[in-house]
Amino acid sequence: MKTFVLTTASALLLISGGIGYAAHANSDTPPVSENSTSMNYQKYQIDAENVDDLLEYDTLDDVVDADDFHAQIVENNNHKRVILLKDDNGQLQFKSIYVKDTNRLKIINLHEGLVYNEILP
């Protein structure tokens, strides 16, 4: 009986310590909001070259008529390029992700979901 009581007390002590740690460990993390995504894109905004000259632009223009939107390159590194397309009101409408390693282009309608996911020739 004494072993059962000690085992139960030890388990409760470990569980309460874990819960306390979890509560305090995440207290510095700000809550996630819908605006945090757009703020991250603005934080990492890149001065873009002419978007029309990019490899994936012709396909992007065919799929979503990109000439009707304002293109903004938010990430361009050795592995991928992310382009956001905004309407005249500045609202995000489409997101283009071009993976350079595999030549894969994904175009996402931010209201309806994935509209294109293929490897470019």
Two tokens, residue 62: 């065919």
**Cα separation of 78 and 85, whole Å?**
21
The whole-number pLDDT of residue 19 equals 64
R_g (Cα) of the chain, nearest Å: 24
Reported residue count of the chain is 121
Query: Is pLDDT above 70 for 57?
Result: yes
Per-residue pLDDT tens over the stretch 2-29: 787 778 777 666 776 666 655 555 555 5
The pLDDT score that the predictor gives to residue 86 is 95
How far apart, in whole angstroms, are the C-alpha atoms of residue 121 and residue 107?
16
Percent residues over pLDDT 70 in the chain: 68
